[in-house]
Amino acid sequence: MDVNRAPLTPISLLRRSVRVFPERTAVVYGARRVSYREFGERISRLANGLAALGIGLASKVALVAPNIPMMLEAHAAVPTLGGVVVPINTRLQPAEVGYILGHARAEAVLIDRASVELLRPVLAGLPALRQVVVVEDAAAGVESGWRPPGALDYETLLARSPAAEPALALRDEEQPIAINYTSGTTGPPKGVVFSHRGAFLNTVCNALQYGLDRASVFLWVVPIYHCNGWCFAWTVPALGAASVCQRRIEPLRMRELIAAERVTHFCGAPVVLQFLANLPDAPAFRFPRTVRAVTGGAAPSPTLLAAMRRMNVDVTHIYGLTETYGPFTVCEPQDEWRGLPEAEWAERMAHQGVDNLLAGEVAVLDGELHPVPADGRTMGEICMRGNLVMERYHEDPAATAEAFAGGWFHSGDLGVLHADGSIELRDRAKDIIVSGGENISSIEVENVLASHPALEEVAVVSSPDRQWGEVPVAFVRVRPGSRLSEAELIAFCRERLAHFKCPKRVFFEPPPRTSTGKVQKYALRERMWQGEPRRIRGH
């Protein structure tokens, strides 16, 4: 560390909380409460234990678990060693998990007992993976089962490791802190590289932008495996605030936790808000204290925003991508909006807004990278540049160059610019479907469908859905002489893809094509979204 400069890292903020607020509650999980003193000790034990296993500078450590305390501990322990966390979606299929582990060259994986079977079919093909650590959790409902050869128990690893705080192995704030995998539009998933600097800036930005402080109580709803929980895996401990963990989202239990733990904040896709709004007594229910919800992935509808306001939930609408550390823009309500009719107020609240405090610059650009008029009508691509844009795609310079063409990150989302400077999404240029906050590559689904021997042609597009916002649907042509039902085809997909990626409906009709033979997916989207004002929905 120089006399007038220290590398930026969220780990330094966590260490401050451990030192300054040792008796404050850091983590709540069921009946268990962990102070910052204990939290810091567990992080140190994990870091020392991993170091004894050979994990160090630039080592990749994969995390496969729901929102349990291990995820928060690992997000601090691994970067302390100069290692890189690689969070993996627990809803993926073994082949998808195996691809990510192999592409990242993960040397170790910390995995929840309920997800261990994901490794069985792929373990032999992962020569770089030297150690599996299994987290046993009674709440998982899985008491025993297969263990990979040589697997360690997580709590045993911590118990046998020293509690002394290890030195922070950070040489450069541009070192990778995480690789987050996102659905590839034309191929396998891409690894998005986050730096310590970017993670630090988004950690601080989250606190400033959404009003968290040491008295905040954060309920874990957004999966930590999504962009490190939109970087809140570092924000909450950086402030000395409390994290309330939960394995799964159960709307009534979630509402009970908010009340019992005096939760002040949570983040999640609009579908989570819809779950709360759909509870039988929701129209008459109101939280005694205002709860702040940060939502993104799709625009919340006016009806949903109005329902949340009645429940005393203050919704902040954000927009971003894995490539932008999660949130990049925020809808900033203006004072004059307070007197607007509810429908007009909700419409403005559904805009994706403006760049957040530390993000950088966001623009709506035409094909020549010129700004579109601020008329709320002219469409362009939403592009970003600045502090909260990824470093690169892991080991994919061609995809990185394409994403950064012209000095901007190209989101692949289409939108308009309003006179007040806020952006609004209208459609997607990429073949990505965002369903309940999960990214789905339509091309990935098409490739699986096309492997069915009875199919000749396949096209997958999004369709609006009341619960999930949008879902994939398929248009297929069956080979002459073959017979195939919708249920059979969906089951075929479910054997090969994470279930949330599978088509919800199948139309047995050939996709329309241009005179040159190209499938007109735009025409199919138009058909599915007829009557909708935009081609993106929040619920």
Residues 313 and 293 sit within 8 Å (Cβ to Cβ):
yes
Query: In 3-state terms, what secondary structure has residue 48?
Result: helix
* Cα–Cα dist 200/197, whole Å: 5
End-to-end CA distance of the chain: 48
Residues 323 and 359 sit within 8 Å (Cβ to Cβ):
no
Neighbour-count burial of 153, counting CB atoms closer than 10 A to its CB (0-12 exposed, 13-18 middle, 19+ buried): middle
Nearest residue to 146 via CA among 128, 119, 125: 119
Residue 242 lies in a domain: yes
Residue 58 lies in a domain: yes
**Are residues 176 and 236 located together in one domain of the fold?**
no
* Cα–Cα dist 16/308, whole Å: 35
**Are residues 235 and 281 located together in one domain of the fold?**
yes
* Cα–Cα dist 24/22, whole Å: 6
**Are residues 155 and 274 located together in one domain of the fold?**
no
How do strand 152-153 and strand 313-321 relate by DSSP bridges? unpaired
Q: Provide the residue count of the chain.
A: 539
**Are residues 141 and 240 located together in one domain of the fold?**
no
Per-residue pLDDT at 515: 53
Beta bridge partners of 507: 475
How do strand 242-244 and strand 152-153 relate by DSSP bridges? unpaired
**Are residues 294 and 269 located together in one domain of the fold?**
yes
Q: Which of 160, 194, 228 is the last residue of a domain?
A: 194
- Structural domain total, the chain: 3
Per-residue pLDDT at 141: 87
Per-residue pLDDT at 518: 61
**Are residues 74 and 180 located together in one domain of the fold?**
yes
Per-residue pLDDT at 211: 97
| Beta strand segments in 296-357, E | 313-321, 326-330, 354-355
- For position 458, which CATH number holds? 3.30.300.30
Per-residue pLDDT at 185: 61
**Are residues 130 and 186 located together in one domain of the fold?**
yes
Residue 15 lies in a domain: no
Residue 534 lies in a domain: no
**Are residues 66 and 126 located together in one domain of the fold?**
yes
Nearest residue to 79 via CA among 175, 160, 203: 175
> Which residue range forms the structural domain that includes residue 180?
36-194
Q: Which residues of 506-537 are buried (b: 16+ CB within 10 A; e: fewer)?
A: bbeeebeeeeeeebebeebbeebbeeeebbbb
Please enumerate in sequence order all residues whose Cβ is within 8 A of that of 215, keeping only pairs 6 or more positions apart, or say none: 241, 264
Residue 536 lies in a domain: no
Per-residue pLDDT at 425: 87
Across the chain, which has 539 residues, the per-10-residue mean pLDDT values are 91 98 98 98 98 98 98 98 98 95 98 97 97 95 87 98 97 97 80 98 98 98 97 98 97 97 96 92 96 89 87 96 97 90 85 96 97 94 97 97 98 93 84 86 86 89 91 93 94 94 94 68 88 69
Per-residue pLDDT at 186: 62
* Cα–Cα dist 458/468, whole Å: 23
**Are residues 308 and 179 located together in one domain of the fold?**
no
**Are residues 280 and 294 located together in one domain of the fold?**
yes
**Are residues 287 and 383 located together in one domain of the fold?**
yes
* 266 DSSP assignment: E
Q: Which residues of 265-295 are buried (b: 16+ CB within 10 A; e: fewer)?
A: bbbbbbbbbbbbbeeeebeeeeeeeebbbbb
| Beta strand segments in 186-248, E | 190-195, 217-219, 242-244
pTM of the predicted protein model? 0.89
**Are residues 424 and 445 located together in one domain of the fold?**
no
Q: Which of 162, 179, 194 is the last residue of a domain?
A: 194
- For position 58, which CATH number holds? 3.40.50.12780
Please enumerate in sequence order all residues whose Cβ is within 8 A of that of 325, keeping only pairs 6 or more positions apart, or say none: 194, 198, 199, 202, 227, 230, 231, 388, 390
Neighbour-count burial of 155, counting CB atoms closer than 10 A to its CB (0-12 exposed, 13-18 middle, 19+ buried): middle
